[in-house]
């Protein structure tokens, strides 16, 4: 049985809380497995101005429920693994292509980027989108972590490496960015295992 204390952990509080990172990027965990709770989330997302969903999960697809109960929110399935290591450059580039299309067509768009827990895949995609928009690694990570304290952004380095290749950065510039990312994580440590444990404790509740 899940206690009220378990629902008060950082992981439980932030898991499915929409976090507005920039004017057009929102981070969150996924829709609840319970149909009625998922509908309530979609109503909340719509009320907060979300116009598009960029779903970063490889393991699930919410196209049908969003189509039927998303109040006009456009759903884009852009799934990938969460097996550690790094993410493929194509995944980042295609994510940017979706985002660029959306924001160019509608300057007032708000894109909900989410994965299952909103801890690694979605924050890493948001990080890449913010790099492409002109943010430095430190500034992007600061905005992400400030807006969503449980965002570990585990794949940030692969996002930066993709960005460095796209921008044709020099080796020195690439390494400077990588060092900036590493230094940020050293100075702003997050107990990833504990946060995941906290989410798992309430995952099916």
Alpha carbon distances (Å) from 187 to 90, 132, 139, 173, 181:
30, 24, 14, 21, 10
Domain spans of the chain, in order of start: 17-193+197-201
pLDDT at 1: 46
What does the block give as tokens for 41? 């989330």
Q: Do 181 and 152 touch, CB atoms closer than 8 A?
A: no
Per-residue pLDDT of the chain (205 residues; tens, 9 = 90+): 456 788 899 999 999 999 999 999 999 999 999 999 999 999 999 999 999 999 999 999 999 999 999 999 999 999 999 999 999 999 999 999 999 999 999 999 999 999 999 999 999 999 999 999 999 999 999 999 999 999 999 999 999 999 999 999 999 999 999 999 999 999 999 999 999 999 999 988 8
Q: Running DSSP on this structure, what letter comes out for residue 136?
A: -
Residue 80 dihedral angles phi and psi, to the nearest 5°: -150, 170
Q: Measure CA of the first residue to CA of the last residue in the chain; give whole Å.
A: 9
pLDDT at 7: 85
pLDDT at 204: 82
What pTM value is reported for the model? 0.96
Q: Which residue in 37, 39, 27 sits closest to 112, CA to CA?
A: 27
pLDDT at 3: 61
What's the CA gap between 69 and 91, in Å, rounded? 27
Q: Which CATH number fits domain 17-193+197-201: 3.40.710.10, 3.90.190.10, 3.40.50.1370, 2.40.50.140?
A: 3.90.190.10
What's the CA gap between 195 and 37, in Å, rounded? 22
Alpha carbon distances (Å) from 194 to 9, 56, 119, 144, 172:
10, 22, 12, 19, 35
């Amino acid at each position: 049985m899940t206690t009220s204390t378990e629902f008060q952990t950082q992981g439980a509080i932030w898991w499915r809380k929409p976090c507005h990172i920039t004017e057009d990027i929102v981070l969150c965990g996924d829709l609840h497995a319970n149909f009625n709770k998922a509908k309530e989330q979609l109503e909340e997302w719509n009320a907060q101005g979300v116009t598009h969903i960029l779903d970063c999960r490889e393991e699930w697809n919410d196209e049908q429920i969003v189509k039927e109960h998303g109040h006009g929110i456009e759903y884009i399935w852009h799934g990938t693994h969460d097996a550690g290591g790094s993410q493929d450059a194509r995944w980042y580039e295609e994510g940017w292509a979706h985002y660029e299309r959306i924001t160019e067509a509608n300057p007032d768009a708000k894109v909900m980027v989410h994965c299952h827990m909103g801890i690694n895949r979605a924050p890493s995609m948001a990080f890449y989108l913010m790099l492409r928009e002109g943010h430095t690694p430190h500034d992007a990570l600061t905005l992400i972590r400030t807006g969503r304290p449980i965002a570990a952004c585990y794949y940030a380095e692969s996002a930066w490496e993709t960005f460095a290749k796209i921008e044709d950065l020099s080796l020195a510039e690439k390494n400077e960015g990588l060092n900036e990312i590493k230094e940020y994580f050293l100075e702003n440590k997050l107990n990833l295992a504990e946060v995941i444990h906290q989410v798992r404790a309430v995952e099916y509740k």
